């Protein structure tokens, strides 16, 4: 006699066990049709699931996120079924749900082509029309292995064998297709309304580059055609923000074949770069950092001491000189910083010592990893190393976290996710030290009441780390800042300070932190975040002064000079072109303010102000405009 409580608090009584579909039907035919799955006491189940005790139930439809996930997961099965109908030799492996869609990996003798994709989509549509029932069944491990061996699905056999324990396994069958799966799935293949296969790519079996490469097909699926269309539009919008495209259009930088993964900064891009650097320098000075500079090329022995030679040798740029010494371009700033710390005797009175460096680092990244400014081989870190006592370590961590979160706000990044990565397998130092270090990061987060996501085993080889992931204007996540605590490098380099008792061998703790992370990457993120419309304080060019005819040229130049003298970045455009043409060009360059000057403005000693959004702020005196500009600049990018 199950009594079922629905989400609205109402209850329903049934004389005998009832399925989720049965409940939906008893509520109404519309819901029965819309039901994709059920949530029974918090657990997602199929609509065919039978309820025989008192439970809380919600019927899952495509109006909730769970329902959309079920659609996507089932759509992966639908695609696999279509692939096997068209290509019986293709073996299935796995097909999970991902953000906005799904993929399925197949083992097949050749890569799939775009024509194959079209054919697969057509076959998927046919299977939707067939409206096949999706049936769940349970098999024992032995039966399952036997079944897949008979079908020649060796990857499935491998998956089953790797599932621990000896519990029974659930299977889903739709027509001639059966797959091992936890479920739940849609009740029938007629439920799909909008899907599209988006791309093909290679992917390693089990995500291991030592294994063979499988053929992966990506797809996206939505509750309605309209949702699918909106999604595809969003992709197009994102493409318009692509920093590589905007970087070219706005004349910020270029890359060349001779220097793969390295940036040629053009004047405007470099201005942006310097703006960020000067901003960070100011913030660090306020926070009692000192700034230093260390060599780019250093002897191999230094990297052996640091452990980088052992861990990352194949990703380092090296050079051998005539006398056969091997040098490496620094892939990190820490050994240089440690060497700086080791100069002269340090006292406990010097600690905490916050030593910053805008260090250019070179890493020989795998060619396939390179991506515009986001992943380069030559980049600049806003790096700093904080040397402190064990007692100071937690407070220093908290100060760094406070600083980084505040800095991100100046760019309009309010949503920041903190990742905590702990000791990896490949590491140096004792477990006791790792306990202390992980404890310090954890404690500083908890005492600041900050949420975090744990990434076990993802730390650096010398210490655990926090990573700051920010969400941009269109909801994409980017990892930028990092904070690592480290007692291992100080040990390896044998650095010390003198404590209050005159002990000359006290070991400092070392914090590694970068807040932008890589200046190059951060600029890439900003370009996409702002769609090239940098807030005024950052914009490489803040104001352009345009004359309508040659007659106002002198006045325009005076205005430009006057703005420059006040510290604003101004240009003038005195070309013999129509005013509409100049406005169009400079607006496309996304300059925040255009000052239009004709005879009227010259006569009244004013400027007519137009924003890049096309708003006419009217004519005003230059002083009034400077006031406006100053207020805009001092707001940074805060929202």
Enumerate the active-site residues.
334, 363, 381, 383, 385, 465, 512
Q: Identify which range of 59-67, 171-179, 367-375, 530-538 contacts RNA by CB under 7 A.
A: 367-375
In the bound state with RNA, the residue whose beta carbon lies nearer, of 48 and 484, is: 484
Which residue among 163, 230, 290, 369 contacts RNA (CB under 7 A)? 369
Closest CB 324 distance from RNA, rounded Å: 23
Report the SS3 class of residue 491. Answer: helix
Please, which of residues 131-150 interact with RNA by CB under 7 A? none
In the bound state with RNA, the residue whose beta carbon lies nearer, of 166 and 613, is: 613
Does 185 sit near RNA (CB under 7 A)? no
In the bound state with RNA, the residue whose beta carbon lies nearer, of 191 and 427, is: 427
Does 588 sit near RNA (CB under 7 A)? yes
In the bound state with RNA, the residue whose beta carbon lies nearer, of 494 and 616, is: 616
Render 257-269 in DSSP notation, one character per residue: TTSTT--EE-HHH
Render 171-209 in DSSP notation, one character per residue: EEEETTEEEE------SBGGG--EEEEEEEEEEEGGG-T
Does 4 sit near RNA (CB under 7 A)? no
The Cα–Cα gap between 191 and 169 comes to: 25
Q: Which of 89, 79, 62 is nearest to 198 (CA)?
A: 79
- State how beta strands 213-222 and 194-204 pair: antiparallel
Q: 637 and 537 in contact (C-beta within 8 Å)?
A: yes
Which residue among 365, 410, 491, 531 contacts RNA (CB under 7 A)? 365
Closest CB 618 distance from RNA, rounded Å: 8
Cβ-proximal residues to 231 (8 Å cutoff; 6+ apart), any chain: 100, 220, 222
Report the SS3 class of residue 412. Answer: coil
In the bound state with RNA, the residue whose beta carbon lies nearer, of 211 and 320, is: 211
Closest CB 337 distance from RNA, rounded Å: 12
In the bound state with RNA, the residue whose beta carbon lies nearer, of 346 and 465, is: 465
Does 208 sit near RNA (CB under 7 A)? yes
Which residue among 17, 30, 96, 202 contacts RNA (CB under 7 A)? 202
The Cα–Cα gap between 479 and 467 comes to: 7
The Cα–Cα gap between 261 and 527 comes to: 18
Q: Identify which range of 193-201, 269-277, 286-294, 387-395 contacts RNA by CB under 7 A.
A: 193-201
Does 506 sit near RNA (CB under 7 A)? no
In the bound state with RNA, the residue whose beta carbon lies nearer, of 50 and 587, is: 587
Which residue among 129, 226, 584, 605 contacts RNA (CB under 7 A)? 584
Q: 120 and 217 in contact (C-beta within 8 Å)?
A: yes
Please, which of residues 426-465 interact with RNA by CB under 7 A? 460-462
Q: Identify which range of 37-45, 122-130, 166-174, 208-216 contacts RNA by CB under 7 A.
A: 208-216
In the bound state with RNA, the residue whose beta carbon lies nearer, of 61 and 215, is: 215
Closest CB 199 distance from RNA, rounded Å: 5
Please, which of residues 106-125 interact with RNA by CB under 7 A? 111
Does 551 sit near RNA (CB under 7 A)? yes
Backbone angles phi, psi at 425, to 5 degrees: -65, -45
Which residue among 320, 549, 621, 634 contacts RNA (CB under 7 A)? 549
- State how beta strands 43-45 and 37-40 pair: antiparallel
In the bound state with RNA, the residue whose beta carbon lies nearer, of 105 and 399, is: 105
Does 96 sit near RNA (CB under 7 A)? no
Report the SS3 class of residue 498. Answer: strand
Report the SS3 class of residue 220. Answer: strand
- Reading the block at residue 148, the tokens are 């897949």
Cβ-proximal residues to 142 (8 Å cutoff; 6+ apart), any chain: none
Closest CB 603 distance from RNA, rounded Å: 8
- Reading the block at residue 159, the tokens are 């998956």
Q: 390 and 436 in contact (C-beta within 8 Å)?
A: yes
Report the SS3 class of residue 64. Answer: coil
Which residue among 203, 221, 353, 526 contacts RNA (CB under 7 A)? 203
Does 72 sit near RNA (CB under 7 A)? no
The Cα–Cα gap between 308 and 428 comes to: 11
Q: Identify which range of 134-142, 183-191, 362-370, 624-632 contacts RNA by CB under 7 A.
A: 362-370
Q: 91 and 107 in contact (C-beta within 8 Å)?
A: yes
The Cα–Cα gap between 589 and 583 comes to: 10
Please, which of residues 251-270 interact with RNA by CB under 7 A? 255, 257, 260-261
Q: Which of 10, 37, 43 is nearest to 24 (CA)?
A: 37
The Cα–Cα gap between 285 and 450 comes to: 26
Backbone angles phi, psi at 535, to 5 degrees: -60, 155
Please, which of residues 510-539 interact with RNA by CB under 7 A? 512
Does 129 sit near RNA (CB under 7 A)? no
Does 367 sit near RNA (CB under 7 A)? yes
Q: Identify which range of 68-76, 447-455, 493-501, 591-599 contacts RNA by CB under 7 A.
A: 591-599
| Residue 638: half-sphere exposure toward Cβ, Cα within 13 Å | 11
Q: Which residue has the tokens 């924003």?
A: 611
Does 240 sit near RNA (CB under 7 A)? no
What value does the CA radius of gyration of the chain take, rounded to a whole number of Å? 31
In the bound state with RNA, the residue whose beta carbon lies nearer, of 156 and 512, is: 512
Backbone angles phi, psi at 605, to 5 degrees: 55, 45
In the bound state with RNA, the residue whose beta carbon lies nearer, of 267 and 567, is: 267
Cβ-proximal residues to 586 (8 Å cutoff; 6+ apart), any chain: 544, 546, 573, 594
Which residue among 200, 274, 496, 571 contacts RNA (CB under 7 A)? 200
- State how beta strands 50-51 and 91-92 pair: unpaired
The Cα–Cα gap between 423 and 445 comes to: 17
Does 9 sit near RNA (CB under 7 A)? no
Please, which of residues 261-320 interact with RNA by CB under 7 A? 261, 308, 311-312, 315-316
Closest CB 489 distance from RNA, rounded Å: 9
Q: Identify which range of 178-186, 187-195, 206-214, 524-532 contacts RNA by CB under 7 A.
A: 206-214
- State how beta strands 290-291 and 353-362 pair: parallel
In the bound state with RNA, the residue whose beta carbon lies nearer, of 203 and 495, is: 203
- Reading the block at residue 445, the tokens are 């987060």
Closest CB 77 distance from RNA, rounded Å: 20
**CB-count burial class (<10 Å; 0-12, 13-18, 19+) for 92:** buried
Interface residue list for RNA (CB under 7 A): 111, 199-204, 207-209, 213, 215-216, 218, 244, 248, 255, 257, 260-261, 308, 311-312, 315-316, 331-332, 363-372, 375, 460-462, 484, 512, 548-551, 576-581, 583-584, 587-588, 594, 596-601, 608, 610, 612, 614, 616, 619
């Amino acid at each position: 006699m199950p009594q079922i409580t629905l989400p609205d608090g109402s209850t329903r009584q049934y004389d005998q066990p009832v399925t989720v579909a049965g409940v939906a039907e008893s509520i109404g035919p519309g819901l029965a049709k819309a039901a994709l799955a059920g949530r029974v006491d918090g657990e997602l189940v199929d609509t065919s699931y039978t309820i025989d005790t008192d439970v809380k139930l919600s019927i899952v439809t495509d109006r909730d996120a769970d329902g959309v996930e079920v659609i996507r997961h089932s759509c992966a099965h639908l695609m696999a079924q279509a692939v096997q109908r068209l290509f019986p030799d293709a073996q299935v492996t796995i097909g999970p749900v991902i953000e906005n869609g799904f993929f399925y990996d197949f083992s097949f003798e050749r890569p799939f082509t775009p024509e194959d994709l079209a054919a697969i989509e057509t076959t998927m549509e046919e299977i939707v029309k067939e409206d096949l029932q999706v049936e769940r069944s349970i098999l024992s491990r032995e039966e399952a292995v036997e079944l897949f061996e008979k079908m020649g699905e060796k990857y499935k056999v491998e998956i089953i064998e790797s599932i621990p324990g000896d519990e029974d396994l659930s299977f889903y069958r739709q027509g001639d297709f059966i797959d091992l799966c936890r479920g739940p799935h849609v009740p029938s293949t007629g439920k799909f309304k909008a899907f599209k296969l988006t791309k093909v790519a290679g992917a390693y079996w089990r995500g291991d580059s030592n294994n063979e490469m499988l053929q992966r097909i990506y797809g996206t699926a939505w509750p309605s055609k309209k949702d699918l269309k909106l999604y595809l539009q969003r992709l197009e919008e994102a493409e318009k923000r692509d920093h590589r495209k905007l970087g070219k259009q706005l004349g910020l930088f270029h890359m060349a074949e001779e220097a793969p993964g390295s940036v040629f900064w053009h004047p405007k891009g470099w201005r942006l770069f310097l703006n960020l650097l000067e901003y960070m320098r100011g913030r660090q000075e306020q926070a009692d950092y000192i700034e230093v500079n260390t060599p780019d090329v250093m002897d191999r022995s230094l990297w052996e001491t640091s452990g980088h030679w052992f861990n990352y040798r194949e990703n380092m740029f090296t050079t051998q000189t005539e006398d056969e010494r091997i040098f490496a371009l620094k892939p990190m700033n820490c050994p240089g910083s440690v060497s700086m710390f080791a100069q002269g005797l340090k006292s406990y009175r010097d600690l905490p010592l916050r030593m910053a460096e805008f260090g250019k680092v070179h890493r020989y990244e795998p060619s396939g990893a390179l991506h515009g400014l986001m992943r380069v081989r030559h980049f600049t870190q806003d790096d700093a190393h904080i040397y402190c006592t064990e007692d100071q370590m937690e407070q220093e961590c908290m100060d760094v976290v406070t600083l980084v979160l505040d800095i991100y706000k100046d760019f309009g990044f309010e949503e920041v996710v903190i990742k905590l990565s702990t000791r990896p397998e490949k590491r140096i130092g004792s477990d006791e030290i790792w306990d202390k270090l992980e404890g310090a990061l954890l404690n500083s987060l908890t005492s600041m009441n900050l949420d975090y996501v744990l990434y076990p085993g993802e730390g650096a080889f010398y210490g655990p780390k926090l990573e700051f992931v920010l969400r941009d204007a269109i909801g994409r996540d980017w990892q930028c800042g990092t904070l690592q605590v480290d007692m291992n490098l100080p040990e390896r380099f044998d650095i010390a300070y003198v404590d209050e008792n005159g002990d000359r061998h006290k070991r400092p703790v070392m914090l590694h932190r970068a807040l932008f992370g890589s200046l190059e990457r951060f600029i890439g993120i900003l370009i996409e975040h702002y769609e090239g419309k940098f807030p005024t304080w950052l914009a490489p060019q803040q104001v352009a002064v345009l004359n309508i005819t040659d007659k106002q040229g002198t006045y325009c130049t005076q205005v430009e000079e006057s703005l420059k003298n006040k510290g604003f970045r101004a240009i003038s455009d005195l070309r013999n072109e129509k005013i509409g043409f100049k406005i169009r060009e400079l607006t496309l360059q996304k300059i925040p303010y255009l000052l239009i000057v004709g005879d009227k403005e010259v006569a009244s000693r004013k400027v007519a102000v137009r924003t890049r959004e096309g708003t006419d702020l009217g004519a005003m005196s230059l002083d009034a405009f400077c006031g406006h500009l100053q207020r805009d600049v001092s707001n940074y990018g805060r929202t």
